[in-house]
Amino acid sequence: MADIRECMDRLGYRFSDESLLLRALTHSSYAVEQHRMGADNERLEYLGDAVLEHLVSRHLFDAHPSMREGALTRLRSALVCEGALSDAARKLELGRFLLLGRGEELCGGREKNSILSDAFEAVLAAVYLDGGLAEAQRLVDGYVLCAENEPNRTSTKDSKTAFQELIHQDHKGRAIRYELVSASGPDHKKEFTMRVLVDGEEWGVGSGPSKQAAGQAAAQMAIERFTNHATD
């Protein structure tokens, strides 16, 4: 694990209680391996999810006074989805600082969207507990709300619908199909991986806590691929 002070430099925040940040960076696989049950980041992740939803909801409520509830909900979902939060974690290079078990390390856990997005929420909670709501807001402003101006990320349509519309713009007869690749983890914390195929060709793969969420993540990856092809 890289030095925790380097992580604080990346965050732009100096913790009074560094143990909060250390816990936020501790994955359950490491805690189990070290026989430190309950010393992982899952409780912080729970709190961070609530803090994030509050801050993003308040921002959208103030920023879009004429937007209806359904559109606000879809926009918030796009900003706080697994893909968006894992992107935020990558910008902060959180993967370098994670404490992972050996098995998770070997499986590429430092680059898994699910682990990175959870870590971002846990770190947000740690910042909130140590520095208050203003510091948490600064982190959300810099790494989550900045994506609001990315049209493919924050479309009020869900990613599956948006991808279908992109594909059918010029090729209405093309077949889009979603397939389950894998399902892993205990019943209370399942992780599903789905892929989306267009005429049998894989365009995107995504993971999430449900088949629906994984399908949405796969569609978002496919949208990004489509956009990149269009601009080449």
CATH code at position 143? 1.10.1520.10
130 belongs to the catalytic site = no
Residue 136 contacts residue 55 (beta carbons within 8 Å): yes
Q: pLDDT tier at 149 (50, 70, 90 boundaries)?
A: low
Q: Which residue has the tokens 């992982």?
A: 40
Query: Is the per-residue pLDDT at 165 higher than 80?
Result: no
Residues 146 and 168 in one domain: no
CA–CA separation, 74 and 155 (whole Å):
8
Higher per-residue pLDDT: 173 or 172: 173
Residue 182: give its domain's CATH number.
3.30.160.20
Same domain, 113 and 171: no
Q: Name the phi and psi angles at 28, rounded to 5.
A: -60, -30
Given a cut of 70, whether residue 11 has pLDDT beyond it is: yes
Q: Look at residues 105, 127, 150 and tell me which one is the last residue of a structural domain.
A: 150
- Provide the residue range defining the domain that includes 181: 159-231
Q: Which two tokens stand for residue 99?
A: 């404490």
Pick from 150, 177, 195: which residue ends a domain?
Answer: 150
Same domain, 111 and 180: no
How far apart are the C-alpha atoms of 21 and 135, rounded to whole Å?
14
Residues 81 and 184 in one domain: no
Residues 102 and 135: their CA atoms lie apart, in Å, by: 33
Residues 13 and 94 in one domain: yes
Per-residue model confidence as pLDDT tens digits over 84-100: 899 999 999 999 999 99
Q: Is residue 23 domain-shared with residue 82, that is, in the same domain? A: yes
Distance (Å, whole) CA 232 – CA 67: 34
**Cβ atoms of residues 126 and 21 within 8 Å:** yes
Of the residues 49, 104, 130, 158, which is catalytic?
A: 49
Dihedral (C-alpha) 155, 161, 164, 169: value to the nearest 10 degrees? -60
Q: How confident is the model at residue 231 (pLDDT cuts 50, 70, 90)?
A: very low
| Pair (26, 89) in one structural domain | yes
To the query of whether residue 118 is one of the catalytic residues in this protein, the response is no
Catalytic residue among 121, 130, 158, 191: 121
pLDDT, tens only, 19-44: 999 999 999 999 988 888 778 999 99
Residue where a domain terminates, one of 150, 172, 197: 150
Instruction: For the full predicted model, state whether its pTM sits above 0.75.
Output: no
pLDDT tens, position by position, 97-140: 999 999 988 888 899 988 999 999 999 999 999 999 999 999 99
- State how far the alpha carbon of 208 is from the alpha carbons of 23, 73, 82, 114, in Å: 23, 19, 7, 7
Q: To 10 degrees, what angle do helices 211-231 and 159-168 make?
A: 40
Kindly tell me if the per-residue pLDDT of 170 is higher than 70.
Answer: no
Count of the separate structural domains present in the chain? 2
Between 81 and 232, name the one with better pLDDT: 81
Is the same domain home to 141 and 217?
Answer: no
Note whether 200 and 145 are same-domain residues. Answer: no
Say whether both 178 and 219 belong to one domain.
yes
How confident is the model over 67-78, as pLDDT tens digits? 888 778 878 888
